[in-house]
Homo-oligomer: A and B are copies of this chain.
Amino acid sequence: MMTHKPLPPGSKIGIFGGGQLGRMLAIAAARLGFHVHIYSPLHGSPAFEVAHEHTIAPYGDLVAVKAFAEQMDVVTVEFENIPLDTYEHAAKFCSISPAPTALAIAQDRLAEKKFLTSHNIPIAPYVEINGEGDIVSAIYKLGPDGILKTRRMGYDGKGQVRLGVGVDPDLAIKAFSNQPAIFEKIIPFKLEISCIAARDIHGNIVFYDCPRNEHRNQILAESHVPSGVPETLEKLARAYTAKIADKLQYVGVLAVEFFVLGQGNEHPLLVNEIAPRVHNSGHWTTNACAFDQFENHIRAIAGWSLGSTKRHSNAMMTNIVGHDMDRWADFASNEGAILHLYGKEEVREGRKLGHITYLYEKS
What is A's interface to B at a CB cutoff of 8 Å?
Answer: 6, 8-10, 23, 26-27, 30-33, 35-36, 48-52, 287, 290-291, 299, 304-308, 312-313, 328-329, 332-333, 335-336, 338-343, 345, 354, 357, 359, 361
Contact = CB atoms under 8 A, between A and B. Distances in A.
Given A329-B6, A333-B304, A339 B31 contact: yes
Given A8-B328, A35-B343, 8 more contacts: A27-B27, A30-B49, A33-B328, A50-B50, A287-B290, A290-B357, A290-B359, A291-B338
Given A305-B333, A313-B312, A336-B308, A33 B287 contact: no
18 contacts: A6-B333, A8-B328, A8-B329, A9-B328, A10-B343, A23-B30, A27-B27, A27-B50, A30-B49, A31-B341, A33-B328, A33-B341, A33-B354, A49-B52, A50-B51, A290-B359, A305-B333, A308-B335
B339 A32 contact: yes
Contact of A306 (B10, B36, B291, B335): B335
A8 B327 CA distance: 11
A159 B295 CA distance: 39
Contacts of A306: 335
B307 A341 contact: no
Residue among A6, A332, A338 with max Cβ neighbours from chain B (10 Å): A332
Contacts of A305: 332-333, 335
Q: How many copies of this kind of chain does the complex include? A: 2
Given A6-B329, A49-B52, A343 B33 contact: yes
A304 B331 CA distance: 10
A33 to B, nearest CB: 3
A359 B312 contact: yes
A338 to B, nearest CB: 5
A48 B52 CA distance: 7
Contacts of A52: 48-49
A193 B221 CA distance: 43
Contact of A30 (B6, B291, B308, B343): B343
Contacts of A299: 332
A359 B290 CA distance: 8
Nearest to A46: B30
Contacts of A336: 290, 308
Contacts of A354: 33
A46 to B, nearest CB: 9
A304 B341 CA distance: 15
Nearest to A10: B345
A332 B31 contact: no
Given A27-B27, A313-B312, A354-B33, A343 B9 contact: yes
Contacts of A291: 338
A30 B36 CA distance: 16
Which of A36, A313, A341 lies at the interface centre, i.e. has the most chain B CB atoms within 10 A of its CB? A341
Nearest to A333: B305
Tell which of A49, A52, A340 has the most Cβ of chain B within 10 Å: A49
Contacts of A23: 30
B333 A290 contact: no
A339 B304 CA distance: 12
A262 to B, nearest CB: 32
Given A335-B307, A338-B307, A49 B27 contact: no
